[in-house]
Amino acid sequence: MSEKESGGDFRYAVGESKVPWHAVGEFYDGKDAVEMVKFLLPATGDPAYAAQTEKVAEEIKKLAEVGGKATKLTLGRKVAEAEQISRSYFGSKYACFLDNWTGGMEIAYKLAGIGPGDEIIMPAITFIATMAYPLSVGAKIVFADVDPETINLDPADVARKITPKTKMIVPVHLGGCPVDMDPIMELAAKHDIIVMEDAAHGMGGAYKGKKLGAIGHFGGFSLHEVKNINSFGEGGILLSNEDWAGPQFPGARFLGLDFSRKIKDWLYDISPLTDRYGKPQVALNHSATEIQALGLLLQMQRLDQIIAMRKAAAEYMNSVLSQEDGILVEKADTAETYSTHHLYLLRIDPEKVGGNIQQLSKKLAEKGLTNITHFGPMYRFKIMKDLGYDENAIAATCPVTEKMFYHSYTHLPLYPLTREQLEYQAQAVVEAVREMKQGK
């Protein structure tokens, strides 16, 4: 494999030798491998644990005597393999495996040439990571309202908020539920706007025959530990089909190191990224480790199965909750759109229930349920006020966001809940709603 294919860093660019260059780094050994196993499979208090780990330690010691040592720990074969599999699974021409998805979005924003004064349209409800880079360079975030059924970006409101300064639209497939992408791609084509899909929860979902993340000019996934598929805690994948952008991914990930060129008497050159407007941009470091890539490869083997389990859990929640008046169940998959069912979107009709979602959430917490309400209106955070945004003026342009967030929705977990936990959760929601109806 050439350095270019691996996305190359400098450590192996010197080739084979009797005294290897990689010897400048400390190696891991058998003892470290035992600790790694114990970390992934920690003690639970079962008295058999100590004896079992002892056995494993002995076997690993024997293995270490006959095995070699991993010498390539970052940007090597596993990273290349993760990218290869991503290209074929998502049907995307270019794929880049990175430290996290916030880094992937930074690269896409940079290649799209986002700078001060440019406008980026995104849903008012997402996670701060979606807007971190544009805010950091003085671009302006324009919040579009959400669809009350999915809490996803509403294409009709995007259309209303496009101006000559709009440079990007960033749909977020919240909870893995596909955004209605066709009207967004049409608007983008009409106004020459770049679309980046934040598919942080969407790995494996699909919209009209295309995988989420592979529909826009850019798209990608978070592999953080709380996502539907992860890579030992942190990770991300950036996808593109664009020939002006994709070939720049390896340089964008690792400080612009360019092995296709060399300065005199040295191994490589440093090239800037060339953004959409032909301007140079400076690359930072978003390299990911081989262990992270291994984590992704292992979980990707069971991705379809994971989604099937989540879907079955969501269907169960729908079947129970649809019995109770005032609870609005999650949108089901259709022949054209498949959610990853990363989170269950629970909505209520406050009038029928006689109270709002804040009251319901409190009741659910008392019954021992975790509800994940951390996707809130972005314009309410202190950082926005400090940067000069007027939260109330923005709120007035996002009435559905206001109504849904304060009165109607929350997210519940689906998997890997056990059947018992899932049944308890569904029943608890029904009971809490009944109590509210009785004014309790």
- Candidates 102, 231, 361, 410; binder of ligand PLP (CB under 6 A) is 102
CA angle 340, 342, 345 (to 5 degrees): 105
**179 belongs to the binding site for ligand PLP (CB under 6 A):** no
- Contact region with ligand PLP (CB under 6 A), list: 30-38, 139-147, 197-205, 244-252: 197-205
**Distances, alpha carbon 270 to alpha carbons 3, 252, 260, 328, 408, in Å:** 15, 11, 10, 55, 52
The DSSP bridge pattern shows strands 337-338 and 269-270 to be: unpaired
Rg value, the chain, Cα: 24
Instruction: Provide the 3-class DSSP secondary structure of residue 189.
Output: helix
Query: Does 101 help bind ligand PLP (rule: CB under 6 A)?
Result: yes
Residue of 34, 95, 129, 378 that binds ligand PLP (CB under 6 A) = 129
φ and ψ at 169, to 5 degrees? -120, 135
- Give 171's Cβ-side CA count (13 Å radius): 37
Q: Among 82, 95, 151, 172, which residue sits at the site for ligand PLP (rule: CB under 6 A)?
A: 172
Closer residue to ligand PLP in complex, CB, 292/425: 292
* 275 lies in the site for ligand PLP, by CB under 6 A: no
Tokens read off for 388: 């000069």
d(CA 266, CA 262): 6
Q: Which stretch binds ligand PLP (CB under 6 A): 100-108, 145-153, 268-276, 421-429?
A: 100-108
Q: Which is nearer to ligand PLP, 131 or 283 (CB)?
A: 131
- Our finding on whether 231 is near ligand PLP (CB under 6 A) is no
Q: Site for ligand PLP (CB under 6 A): how many residues?
A: 14
Least distance to ligand PLP from the beta carbon of 140, Å?
19
Question: 38, 161, 224, 367: which one contacts ligand PLP (CB under 6 A)?
Answer: 224
Measured in Å, how far apart are the chain's first and last C-alpha atoms?
A: 66
Q: How many Cα atoms sit within 13 Å of 141 on the Cβ side?
A: 31
The pair of structure tokens assigned to 316 is 């169960």
User: What residues make contact with ligand PLP under the rule CB under 6 A?
Assistant: 100-102, 126-127, 129-130, 172, 198, 200-201, 222, 224, 236
